Copies of this chain bind each other. A is one copy, B any other.
Amino acid sequence: MVETHIYRMMEQEWGSSFMRRAIAIARHGMTAGNGGPFGAVVVQNGIIVGEGWNQVLSLSDPTAHGEMMAIRDACRRLGTHVLEGCDLFTTGEPCPMCLGAIYWSRIRSVYYGFGVDRAASIGFDDAFFYQQLHLSPEARSVPCRQLLAQEAETLVLEYVAMPNRMSY
C-alpha cells in the first residue's frame, strides 16, 4: 500500500515536467493562432524525443493535432515508425484519430491534462466522434460502402504473394 502510494507520487513528479512542457507548447501554438489548446510530447527513457502542437489552422491540415505532430516528430528524429516503450504527454485526451495513431505507433501509455468532455464544452468534436465510432458502420453519420470488392481482393492476393514484404 505504502509502496504503491510512493510509486504513484514519484510517477506524478516524473511526469509533471513533461506535461508542463506539453502545456507550454500548446499555449505557444494557440496564442499564435495555429489551432486549439493542444500540445504533446513523446518521452523515451526520460528524454523528450518528439514535440508537437495543434496546427490544423496554420497548416490547413485536419490531421495536424498535437499528438499526431509529436508522434511524427519522434519518428522522424528516431528514424522509425515504432515508438515502443515511449510515453505520450498531451494537454487534451486523445481523439479517436490520435488514439489510433498511438496504437499504430505502439506507444506504451498516455497522460492527458483535460478530458474529451471538457474539449466538447469549448467546441471540439472529439466526444461526438467517439460516439460515432462506437456505432455500427451502417449507423454512422458518414456512410461507408464496399465497392469493387473483387478487384480489391486481387490486390490483396498480389500483396500476399510478394516475396519480401515487410509487416508493420
Does chain B have a CB within 8 A of A102?
Answer: yes
Q: Which size class do A's interface residues fall under?
A: 35 or more
Tell me, rounded to whole Å, the shortest Cβ–Cβ distance linking A14 to chain B.
Answer: 10
Residues of chain A having any CB pair with chain B under 8 Å = 12, 15-16, 19-20, 23, 26-27, 30-31, 33, 35-37, 56-57, 59-63, 68, 71-72, 75-76, 79-83, 89, 91-105, 107-115, 118, 122-123, 125, 129-130, 132-134, 142-149, 151-153, 155-156, 158-160, 162, 164-168
Tell me, rounded to whole Å, the shortest Cβ–Cβ distance linking A156 to chain B.
Answer: 6
Distance in angstroms between the alpha carbons of A43 and B30 in the assembled complex: 31
Tell me, rounded to whole Å, the shortest Cβ–Cβ distance linking A159 to chain B.
Answer: 4
Q: Which residues of B contact A92 (CB under 8 A)?
A: 152
Q: Which residues of B contact A20 (CB under 8 A)?
A: 148, 151
Interface centre among A62, A98, A102, A132 (most CB of B within 10 A): A62
Say whether B114 contacts A152, CB under 8 Å: yes
Say whether A118 contacts B60, CB under 8 Å: no
Say whether A147 contacts B100, CB under 8 Å: no
The residue of chain B having its C-beta at the shortest distance from the C-beta of A31 within the complex is B162
Tell me, rounded to whole Å, the shortest Cβ–Cβ distance linking A168 to chain B.
Answer: 6
Say whether B147 contacts A26, CB under 8 Å: no
